[in-house]
């Protein structure tokens, strides 16, 4: 190809007419990444607190990339306080991270959580995260980053869609909510009956 032909190609795009309209259409086509972080306690539970920290760090690390490729990120931090709310959210284990409605951990494994047990005075199981063959008591940052990137680059390839199983509130959560409610009732009723809580 001659130099004059190369120059013609360069100058034909250099007016900015076509590139400007392409830039506008890219800016108008921003996509939404919704991350739901659901938990039963953020004051005492170390698993929930550390998972929230790792989630925030993971989002900070990929924020520039997501912005560049046209994604806006919205994080919903949801304290699950009772059975009705858990059922409405189809909440199975604490903590949970969902990206665009999909749990980032496909399997549910739990172990005894001492800190949540201290809230209710009974045994409470919280989520165990499995990443690259190892178990963690909080969601590892690389697991969260991989889940975000998988959702972004594999958008529309959700194999779980349409296969939603019937929801049953786990016994573990029932026990937790019942014990927490009874503990709250006991606290307010031991104040000489001056507080109406129930």
Report the chain's terminal Cα–Cα distance, integer Å.
85
Question: Whole-prediction pTM value?
Answer: 0.77
**Average of pLDDT values for 168-189?**
80
Q: 29-43, 92-106, 164-178: lowest mean pLDDT where?
A: 164-178
137-161 burial by CB neighbour count: b if 16+ within 10 A, else e?
ebbbbebbbebbeebbeeeeeeeee
Omega cis (within 30) before 47: no
pLDDT of residue 120: 81
Q: Examine the pLDDT at 1 and tell me if it is beyond 80.
A: no
Note the pLDDT tens digit of each residue in 23-48: 544 455 889 999 999 999 999 999 99
Give the largest Cα separation in the chain, rounded: 95
Above 80 in pLDDT, residue 4? no
- How far, in Å, CA of 183 to CA of 118, rounded? 11
Q: What are phi and psi of 148, to 5 degrees?
A: -65, -50
């Amino acid at each position: 190809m001659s130099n004059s032909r190369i120059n013609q190609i360069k100058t034909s795009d250099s007016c900015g007419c076509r590139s400007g309209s392409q830039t506008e259409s890219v800016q108008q086509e921003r996509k939404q990444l919704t991350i739901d972080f659901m938990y039963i306690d953020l004051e005492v539970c170390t698993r929930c607190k550390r998972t929230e920290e790792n989630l925030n760090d993971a989002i900070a690390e990929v924020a520039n990339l997501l912005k560049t490729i046209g994604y806006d990120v919205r994080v919903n931090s949801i304290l699950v306080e009772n059975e009705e709310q858990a059922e409405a959210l189809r909440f199975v284990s604490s903590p949970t991270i969902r990206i665009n409605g999909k749990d980032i951990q496909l399997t549910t494994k739990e172990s005894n959580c001492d800190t949540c047990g201290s809230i209710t005075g009974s045994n409470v199981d919280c989520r165990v995260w499995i990443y690259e063959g190892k178990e963690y008591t909080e969601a590892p940052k690389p697991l969260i980053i991989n889940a975000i990137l998988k959702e972004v680059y594999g958008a529309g390839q959700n194999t779980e869609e349409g296969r939603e199983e019937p929801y049953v509130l786990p016994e573990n959560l029932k026990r937790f909510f019942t014990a927490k409610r009874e503990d709250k009732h006991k606290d307010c009723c031991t104040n000489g009956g001056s507080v109406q809580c129930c």
